[in-house]
Amino acid sequence: MTPQTTTRIASVVRLNQEGPGKQSLPEWWASEQKQKTPEAAAIMEAAQLLQTSDIPVAFPTETVYGLGADATRSDAVSGIYKAKQRPSDNPLIVHVDSLDMLDRLLNPEATSPHAHEAKTARNTIPLIYEALIAKFWPGPLTILLPNPSGSCLAPQVTSNLTTFGVRMPSSPLARLLIHVADRPLAAPSANASTKPSPTAAEHVFHDLQGRIELILDGGPCGVGVESTVVDGLSDPPSILRPGGVPIEAIRACSGWENVQLGYHDGTFDVKEIPRAPGMKYRHYSPKARVVLFEAGSDVQGIINHIKHDLEDTAVGAHSMGLVRTRTWKRGLQLLPEAEIEKTAKPVTSLINNFVEFTVPVRNSSKEVFDCPLGTDIDDIARGLFAALRAMDEREVDVIYVEGVSDDELLAAAVMNRLRKAAGSTFKV
């Protein structure tokens, strides 16, 4: 598709950082509006586009950037699929600013002119979600709810399923935008379909430039992986996508002790087809081939594997990336550390200490891009997609990634995304 529109980036970083403090969202918004700040103007414009245009607006959330549209307007929601070139059998998450907004979604007849005739009891959020909502909302948790009869959600949001996924983001900016637009927003991650999710406004611009009009820039996302998707409508309840709320934290909630893992990423076998339709597609993939080494792999075995690849003309790699987490040393001993120290050049990116150097291989040389994500799992999650994107920008042929052990906090989400991005996964 040829670019058709000029895409602008408007900064709302200050608002996203400051948040409402002790004020309610309406009070916060009123004071911003009164001061006529540039950020207020940007929010106003975004809200207006959401209400009137069929072209979606990109906005920050605490997990990743979202590509938002009014969830109640079919044409607007179709605009998301168009901009992303996303298959339309993959349902979208609805974002709300409050439980009140969710209550209105669940009870469409209560707001109709015939409300007084409605004899049926109000639809409420199933009890099973009570503990999760109390603990994790607003935040990176998506729950499935039955789509009520007479639902005002556009059918494209649910891809004709009988349920819809909904979350209340903790990003103050995201909630403010929903409040000002006064609409529930359907929003997938704001990347081109199959690419790594965007964790900065530049990532959205890179993928969707020319296809959308406005990107609200709230700075880099704090969590870095998408929300955890849970299904409490099935018995036992299940996790359909690991994400920003750790599985153990969900298991610790009343009613969720027995939660099943309903996704498949090679860690275990599930016989059924994936229940979250998005999970069956190739995802999060940079252009480069991704080779993932599972945690606990033998470092010497990894080095041998990589050296073998580098010398193999059939593999044909001219440049390679190393994405390191817990144990790999800089450059993985492909060059003595003193040599790296002398020759490494810094690479500008969102990740600190990202460097580039050259290693001699037989009669030629290879470029190595070395990207340390840190050892803390929160830092690893936050930097993961940015690292994959930074490698693509340098046009590396192959990216070797050091996996983390699945069984702690955000690691399940990190490894899930990596396994989906990887062409090959090894334990050596």
Among 12, 77, 143, 144, binds ligand TXA (CB under 6 A): 144
Q: Is 43 or 80 the residue whose CB approaches ligand TXA more closely?
A: 80
Among 56, 184, 188, 218, binds ligand TXA (CB under 6 A): 188
Q: How far is the CB of 272 from ligand TXA (least distance, A)?
A: 13
Which of the residues 39 through 68 are near ligand TXA (CB under 6 A)?
A: 61, 63-64, 66
Q: How far is the CB of 23 from ligand TXA (least distance, A)?
A: 24
Q: Which two tokens stand for residue 298?
A: 């033998």
Q: Which two tokens stand for residue 163?
A: 């349920």
Q: How many CB atoms lie within 10 A of CB 264?
A: 17
Using CB under 6 A as the binding rule, whether residue 241 contacts ligand TXA is answered as yes
Interaction partner, residue 227 (Mg ion, ligand TXA, none; CB < 5-8 Å by kind): ligand TXA
Q: Is 191 or 325 the residue whose CB approaches ligand TXA more closely?
A: 191
Q: Is 118 or 274 the residue whose CB approaches ligand TXA more closely?
A: 274
Q: How far is the CB of 365 from ligand TXA (least distance, A)?
A: 40
Site of tokens 């001993």: 333
Q: How far is the CB of 85 from ligand TXA (least distance, A)?
A: 13
Q: How far is the CB of 157 from ligand TXA (least distance, A)?
A: 8
Using CB under 6 A as the binding rule, whether residue 164 contacts ligand TXA is answered as yes
- Give CA–CA dist 316/364, Å, rounded: 12
Long-range contacts (CB closer than 8 Å, 24 or more residues apart) made by 102-108: 102/166, 102/168, 105/148, 105/151, 105/152, 105/153, 105/166, 105/184, 106/145, 106/148, 107/148, 108/148, 108/150, 108/151, 108/152
Element (H, E) at 345: strand 345-346
Q: Is 128 or 229 the residue whose CB approaches ligand TXA more closely?
A: 229
Return the amino acid letter for 58: A
- Enumerate binding residues for Mg ion (CB under 5 A): 189
Q: How far is the CB of 212 from ligand TXA (least distance, A)?
A: 14
Among 7, 163, 194, 353, binds ligand TXA (CB under 6 A): 163
- Give CA–CA dist 24/19, Å, rounded: 10
Q: Is 80 or 422 the residue whose CB approaches ligand TXA more closely?
A: 80
Give strand pairing partners of 398: 289, 320
Q: How far is the CB of 352 from ligand TXA (least distance, A)?
A: 24
CA 413-419-423 angle, 5° bins: 160
Give the contacts of 175 (CB within 8 A, at least 6 positions apart): 25, 97, 98, 138, 168, 169
Q: How far is the CB of 131 from ligand TXA (least distance, A)?
A: 20
Q: Is 310 or 377 the residue whose CB approaches ligand TXA more closely?
A: 377
Helices (H) and strands (E) in the chain, counts: 14, 18
Q: Is 310 or 411 the residue whose CB approaches ligand TXA more closely?
A: 411
Give the contacts of 225 (CB within 8 A, at least 6 positions apart): 63, 64, 197, 243, 244, 381, 384, 385, 410, 413, 414, 417
- Side by side, which strands form the sheet with 66-70? 8-11, 214-217, 57-59, 66-70, 185-186, 93-95, 163-167, 141-146, 228-231, 238-241, 260-261
Interaction partner, residue 156 (Mg ion, ligand TXA, none; CB < 5-8 Å by kind): none
Interaction partner, residue 383 (Mg ion, ligand TXA, none; CB < 5-8 Å by kind): none
Candidate ranges 22-30, 36-44, 119-127, 185-193; the one touching ligand TXA (CB under 6 A): 185-193
**What is residue 58's three-state secondary structure?**
strand
Q: Is 73 or 175 the residue whose CB approaches ligand TXA more closely?
A: 175
Among 12, 77, 83, 93, binds ligand TXA (CB under 6 A): 93
Element (H, E) at 68: strand 66-70
Q: How far is the CB of 290 from ligand TXA (least distance, A)?
A: 19
Q: Which residues bind ligand TXA (CB under 6 A)?
A: 61, 63-64, 66, 90-93, 140, 142, 144, 158, 161, 163-165, 187-189, 226-227, 229, 240-241, 275-279
